[in-house]
Amino acid sequence: MIDLRRIRTDLDGVRTALARRGDAEVLVEVDRVAVLDEEHRLVQSARDELRARVNELSKQVGVLRRDGDVTGAEALQEESRAIGEQERAMAASAEDLLARIRDLLLVIPNLPSSDAPDGSGAEDNVEIKRVGPGDDPSVWSEHQRVPHWDIGTALGILDLERAVRMSGAMFTMFRGAGATLSRALCQVALDRNADAFEEVRPPTVVLTDTMVSTGHLPKFIDDAYHLERDDLWAIPTAEVPLTSLARDEILRGADLPMRVMAQTACFRREAGSAGRDTRGLLRVHEFDKVEILAYATPEQAADVHAELLARAEGLITDLGLTYRVLDLCAGDLGNSSARTFDIEVYAPGVDQWLEVSSVSWFSDYQARRANIRFKPEGGKGNETVHTLNGSALAVPRVWAAVVETHRQPDGTVRLPEVLLPYFRGATSIGR
């Protein structure tokens, strides 16, 4: 969440930054926070005055009792009790105001980085890099322009019909070499990042506070799977538990940046997506993904962001996929993000650019929600860390792009060299 002190001391600056997101309601919410904060400080000041008066009366009662003035002491005690009731009412009012402020701060998005491009939506995102032949139909052969669901069915490696029979629409099932491909994609992503990232296998279901820490709640409650009986949430991404790895802790500045990675199943309801890119693997309720995440100091954040992007981009390159990198404009940033680069691969069979990784810097927005701080080397006090993360590899869309891009004229799929060590000697997928 945004630092309340920043709203208090630089309201105009906060409003100017948030206005770049193009949502007028956000500015109304920020103004409400400013008003409530002023009211809270007035109530708190009045409460402190009452508390001081109670303390003063307590001292006077002690003096009167010592002097034998019981009547005077009892009178002051009665006054103290009345003021105490007022003080408790003021304290309750202050707590209520703080709760209202926090509820608003939990839904107000992060301030966009000044480096994020201006724009109101996806059409204003800036393409900063493109690798491969792109989306020109003339550069792709006919055997590559077959959708992955047809390729998967023909090769017996994707069984959508039985997956739907088991679990319903938008669930998938890989079989044979298709399952091996899914596993291989995750394993190569883990292996590629093991030089600098600690591997973690976090729980797949988490507490509400864990979801709140990343900003997935309360904003995206409709897209989350909730286990109501236990009040637990199925994670939409490993970002959620990894961000809370150090929740309520104070880290040593000398230990930053701290890098972790995890392969998990991810669950998303995809509310409102009916009829929109829901065929095959383009939009599914459950999928495997390898996430890379870092805690950093503010000074380290830019370099770490570039590192995460380079790692995600490097694997896509080695898979032989056509891709582009987009610098997301302020109006298209995720709620918690200050700056995001998206990697999109081109899948010739479905003739679409598919987002496969969002590499984001969240400044101190998530860490403030999760109360993750660090003690600077040689410094005094504690500071809030910065969090960054990205998809090292998300299976479904990369799987789709691999089988479409590397499909051969005979209908088999040539395996990228980087995946060969995980395929038990096979070099291609075929019947």
pLDDT score of 270: 85
pLDDT score of 277: 73
Which of 41, 12, 36 is closest to 102 using CA atoms? 36
pLDDT band per the 50, 70, 90 thresholds, residue 193: very high
pLDDT score of 188: 98
CATH number for region 122-429 = 3.30.930.10
Q: What whole-number distance in Å separates Cα of residue 178 and Cα of residue 400?
A: 10
pLDDT score of 336: 98
Whether the link from the prior residue into 396 is cis, omega within 30° of 0, is: no
Percentage of the chain with pLDDT > 70?
99
Q: Tens of pLDDT along 39-55? A: 999 999 999 999 999 99
- Bridge-based pairing of strands 198-199 and 413-414 is unpaired
The DSSP H or E segment spanning 355 is strand 352-361
Q: What's the count of helices (H) and strands (E) in the chain, helices before strands?
A: 12, 16
Q: Tens of pLDDT along 118-157? A: 999 999 999 999 999 989 988 999 999 999 999 999 999 9
Domain extents for the chain?
A: 4-105, 122-429
What kind of architecture, by CATH, is found in domain 4-105?
Answer: Orthogonal Bundle (1.10)
**Starting at the edge strand that comes first in sequence, how are the strands of the sheet with 250-252 ordered?**
250-252, 373-375, 383-384
Q: Tens of pLDDT along 76-115? A: 999 999 999 999 999 999 999 999 999 999 999 999 999 9
Which residues have CB under 8 Å from 331's CB, separation 6+?
20, 21, 22, 119, 120, 121, 124
Q: Tens of pLDDT along 279-320? A: 899 999 999 999 999 999 999 999 999 999 999 999 999 999
